[in-house]
Structure 1
Amino acid sequence: MVRVPEGNGSGVVWDEQGHIVTNYHVIGNALARKAKIGETVARVNILASEGIQKNFEGRLIGADRFKDLAVLKVEASEDLLRPIKVGQSTSLKVGQQCLAIGNPFGFDHTLTVGVISGLNRDIFSQTGVTIGGGIQTDAAINPGNSGGPLLDSKGGLIGINTAIFTQTGTSAGVGFAIPSYTITKIVPQLIQFGKVVRAGLNLDIAPDAVATQLNVRNGALVLQVPANSLAAKAGIIPITRGFAGNIILGDIIVAVDGKKVKSKAELDRLLDEYSAGDTVLLKLQRGSENLELPIMLEEKS
């Protein structure tokens, strides 16, 4: 476990190359200044086996605001770098024991114990986005725990502690962690590319409020389809206007590979599970018709 004092947060050693995983918002001040890849954005303290803390510069490798994750790199000897073992967040059960490690209020290397209180929670991140699939725990998580590990009883990483629900600013027994399933998808991309390459349809979906005004209460309403895009070539139809200026509804995406889509946010969340180049089967509602249309996902622009 590592500490990132400038961000009042924590992190984990990812590999023997010195990559450190933490939250985006822990180094948010540096990122707000448009820090570049390779730039020093934090001082990182690593606890050596003899109990001595050693200090290193943490250089930015990559960051993703949408999943509130960031990767730093330190130039430390391999004997100091003990990579964390990654556990399986997909097999978690409500009620099983978990442990949180972090730097709450500056008390570094603090361990708290609790249970998994809930699964598939929406995390309202400090980056201003909602992250799906979160782990809820009653293990005490306080300011300074952000970026630190949530562990299973065998010491495997099952999440990165990210947020708390509180009215006082301190732990109320409702903490949230980004699951290891998400971390293992995002971190390798941050290390390789410095960013996350996301898959998308590259068309405009109407905001839910607009869709509701048009009496579309279920599904994602296609607003615009760029010319010559894969979506256009696949035959997806956007909203148009009739000769009298009346609005003619386009396609409504109601499912992706058999998984129901109830809103724009739900479509985004489903597509986040895929990679650019994957082909998905869209179920569309077009007027009174129901259609199925295969389409290849592009890199999200």
Structure 2
Amino acid sequence: MIPSPRRFPPGLAILLALPLLAQAPAPTPAQPPSEDATIQRFRAHAAPRAVAQRPPLSAEERNTIRRFKEAKPSVVYVSAIAPVQDLRTLDITKIPTGTGTGFVWDEWGHVVTNHHVITVEDQGKRVAEVDEVEVTLADGKTYKGRVIGTSFAYDISVLQVFAPLGAMRPIPIGRSSDLQVGQAVSAIGNPFGLDHTLTKGVISALGREIGTGYNTKILNVIQTDAAVNPGNSGGPLLDSAGRLVGMNTAIAAATGASVGIGFAIPVDTLNRVVPLLIARSRLEPPRMGFETMGSYEAQQVFGITRGLVVRAVEPDSPAGRAGLRALEVDAAGRVKAMGDVLLGYQGRQIENEGQFMAMLELESPADEVVFDVLRDGRVIKVKLQLKATRKAEPTSI
């Protein structure tokens, strides 16, 4: 009789099979390739990437590109040049003292920039102005320029550039009186010496006031968030039609760099002031009949840091008739007697030549003006009568 096969509970069958499975050899895991092998393998795939197709430029992009190309030839790089004398050899060399931006105003070679672009600074304080500049056009060629007109009150200077007139392309002029907040604008300039840099933004506000380095305020200033940095000063602010609507002038930032708040002198102010500067060099100051020593020279020679040293006086003039005294020098140019030092004008302190000129630009002098004068160690008042000799044409003061 054949014995019947033994039956085990299902769980016990699994347990009995475990020893047999444990005796099977375990598979060897694959070793990853080494780093060097991976690098060499992927080097074989080196090839230029396929260019992804893009849709056509937007209408806004095309307009920005077109306006930049149109305006670029009108924007110049301005370097101020100042003579510096070696105290040991007495040799005079010319060195650049500052750089900024300017733009071609008309077909006669006039360039407009900020006055502070062409000043000499000592420890952050403006102490003198320069007469000579170098102007580099968009084609990279550099030409000599001369400062022919300056408004201290508005921080505007006009340069005559001695370049071929055919190379000077005037920038189109717009209007600032009808600008609106939110309107698109572009700035072109040379921030940090990076020539012909374009930044874009909008008009953030209108009717602002900003101060100048000569204790005056410029009114109706345009505020923009187009990036404006050191070196942008004197450059154009353009509307979307490529017209000049302002001149970039100042930054509202403790760091001295752009934080999205820049200011531009409105073009309506430029269009009023610039022609006067071209024609007359100044904004019609009254004829007083005296000349002063530059603030920087007075500081170097006499140690005077405030006020104006009277260098010369015209005899038949308000200053001459009032008895204002000038420096006395000998044939070799050595000082024999100190002249008057003008400390105040109409009750206000005179800090330097630029600040005094700014006061005259913004105020119509009375028929009689009073100076506080330092003479022989004491301060006296000297009155100048201007009514009988006032002229329309400006002269030196």
Q: TM-score range by the shorter chain?
A: 0.5 to 0.7
Report Cα offsets for 1:56-112 as digits up to 9, x if no partner.
111011101100000011111122100011101001000000001111011110010
Report Cα offsets for 1:94-136 as digits up to 9, x if no partner.
0000001111011110010000001010012244421111000
AA at the equivalent of 1:10: T
Out of 11, 22, 46, the residue aligned to residue 137 of structure 2 is 46
Question: Where does residue 161 of structure 2 map in the other structure?
Answer: 74
Whether 1:14 and 2:105 are equivalent positions in the alignment is yes
Question: Where does residue 151 of structure 1 map in the other structure?
Answer: 238
Separation in structure 1 between the aligned mates of residue 254 and residue 187 of structure 2, nearest angstrom: 21
5+ residue gaps in structure 2? 1-74, 81-97, 287-357, 365-390
Provide the secondary structure at the position in 1 that maps to 2:112. Answer: strand
Report Cα offsets for 1:149-202 as digits up to 9, x if no partner.
001111111001000100211101000000001001110010000001279xxx
Contact 2:116 2:155 in 1 (8 A): yes
Provide the secondary structure at the position in 1 that maps to 2:165. Answer: coil
TM-score (norm 1): 0.62
Out of 282, 288, 298, the residue aligned to residue 195 of structure 1 is 282
Contact 2:114 2:155 in 1 (8 A): yes
Out of 253, 262, 271, the residue aligned to residue 175 of structure 1 is 262
Provide the secondary structure at the position in 2 that maps to 1:79. Answer: helix
Question: Where does residue 115 of structure 2 map in the other structure?
Answer: 24
Separation in structure 1 between the aligned mates of residue 79 and residue 115 of structure 2, nearest angstrom: 14
Contact 2:120 2:129 in 1 (8 A): no
Percent of aligned positions that are identical: 48
Separation in structure 1 between the aligned mates of residue 114 and residue 107 of structure 2, nearest angstrom: 20
Report Cα offsets for 1:216-268 as digits up to 9, x if no partner.
xxxxxxxxxxxxxxxxxxxxxxxxxxxxxxxxxxxxxxxxxxxxxxxxxxxx9
Whether 1:133 and 2:220 are equivalent positions in the alignment is yes
Contact 1:8 1:143 in 2 (8 A): no
Report Cα offsets for 1:26-75 as digits up to 9, x if no partner.
0022994465xxx42x1110113xxxx01011101110110000001111
Distance apart, 1:24 and its partner CA: 0.6
Distance 1:107-1:184 versus aligned 2 partners, 3 A rule = same
Separation in structure 1 between the aligned mates of residue 221 and residue 267 of structure 2, nearest angstrom: 10
Contact 2:118 2:129 in 1 (8 A): no
Question: Where does residue 262 of structure 1 map in the other structure?
Answer: none
Question: Where does residue 250 of structure 2 map in the other structure?
Answer: 163
Distance apart, 1:273 and its partner CA: 11
Question: Where does residue 51 of structure 2 map in the other structure?
Answer: none
Q: How many residues align?
A: 201
Separation in structure 1 between the aligned mates of residue 242 and residue 207 of structure 2, nearest angstrom: 21
Distance 1:273-1:174 versus aligned 2 partners, 3 A rule = farther
Contact 1:124 1:163 in 2 (8 A): no
How large is the Cα RMSD of the aligned pairs?
Answer: 2.7
Contact 2:153 2:362 in 1 (8 A): no
Separation in structure 2 between the aligned mates of residue 273 and residue 154 of structure 1, nearest angstrom: 36
Provide the secondary structure at the position in 1 that maps to 2:177. Answer: helix
Separation in structure 1 between the aligned mates of residue 285 and residue 248 of structure 2, nearest angstrom: 23
Separation in structure 2 between the aligned mates of residue 20 and residue 32 of structure 1, nearest angstrom: 23
Distance apart, 1:8 and its partner CA: 1.9
Distance 1:273-1:102 versus aligned 2 partners, 3 A rule = farther
Q: Which has the higher helix share?
A: 2
AA at the equivalent of 1:110: T
Contact 2:188 2:196 in 1 (8 A): yes
Describe how 1:251-266 pairs up with structure 2 within 5 A. Answer: none
Q: Which has the higher contact order (CA 8 A, sep 6+)?
A: 1
Distance 1:110-1:34 versus aligned 2 partners, 3 A rule = closer
Distance apart, 1:19 and its partner CA: 0.5
Provide the secondary structure at the position in 1 that maps to 2:170. Answer: coil
Whether 1:4 and 2:4 are equivalent positions in the alignment is no
Distance 1:32-1:73 versus aligned 2 partners, 3 A rule = farther
Out of 154, 176, 180, the residue aligned to residue 89 of structure 1 is 176
- Specify the structure having the higher radius of gyration (Cα): 2
Provide the secondary structure at the position in 2 that maps to 1:66. Answer: coil
Provide the secondary structure at the position in 1 that maps to 2:137. Answer: strand
Separation in structure 1 between the aligned mates of residue 143 and residue 255 of structure 2, nearest angstrom: 33
TM-score (norm 2): 0.47
